[in-house]
Amino acid sequence: MKKYLLTFLIAIVIGFFLSNFFLRQYNDFNGIKVSGIGEELYFIQYGVFSNLESLEENTIELQNYVYTKQDNLYYVYVGITKIEENAKKIVELYKSLGYDTIIKKFSITNKDFLELLVNYDEVLKSTNDNTAISSIISQVLTKYEEVVISG
């Protein structure tokens, strides 16, 4: 019995020191953490539809949009940006066109799309021309569909 107790205590002490060693190594990690790659983006949502036919009927007048399907509902987005001021600018553009939209935040992990979005956001930030804003939105949505949705 004494022999097993001593072995058991030694195993606990060694396990304690090894776990501390490995945990310290993890805390000092300077590489890219896989769980932290995503960035919060602002998605400008136009609407939610129960089926594809309803989505197509209600988006006839929209020039550019992307949609996703979650829980048998179709979510339509008319703009994507990293910058909150740009999101408000897009909402105002659609409001002036007679469309009600809302801003939602989602985390995106696609590095290629995130890099492309930086350039588009800078141009969008520097303009107030509705034609230019529409053009930028169109390009962003096209790239999102190509890079993220289609893969």
SS (H, E, C) the chain: CHHHHHHHHHHHHHHHHHHHHHHHHHHCCCCCCHHHCCEEEEEEEEEEECCHHHHHHHCCCCCCCEEEEECCEEEEEEEEECCHHHHHHHHHHHHHCCCCCEEEEEEECCHHHHHHHHHHHHHHHCCCCHHHHHHHHHHHHHHHHHHHHCC
pLDDT tens digits along 37-64? 678 999 999 999 999 999 999 999 998 9
Q: Mind listing the pLDDT tens digit for each residue in 83-115?
A: 999 999 999 999 999 999 999 999 988 999 999
Q: Is 19 left (phi over 0), alpha (psi -120 to 50) or beta?
A: alpha
- Cα–Cα distance measured from residue 135 to residue 64, given in angstroms and rounded to the nearest whole number: 10
Domain 38-149 top-level CATH class: alpha beta
pTM passes above 0.85: no
The answer to whether residues 142 and 64 touch, using CB atoms and an 8 Å cutoff, is yes
Tokens of 114: 């995130």
pLDDT band at 27 (very low <50, low <70, confident <90, very high): low
Q: Confirm if 42 and 75 have CB atoms less than 8 A apart.
A: no
Q: What is the mean pLDDT of the chain?
A: 86
For residue 33, what pLDDT is reported?
A: 43
* Nearest Cα to Cα of residue 100 among 41, 43, 47: 47
| Sign for the pseudo-dihedral over CA of 132, 138, 144, 150 | negative
List the chain domain ranges: 38-149
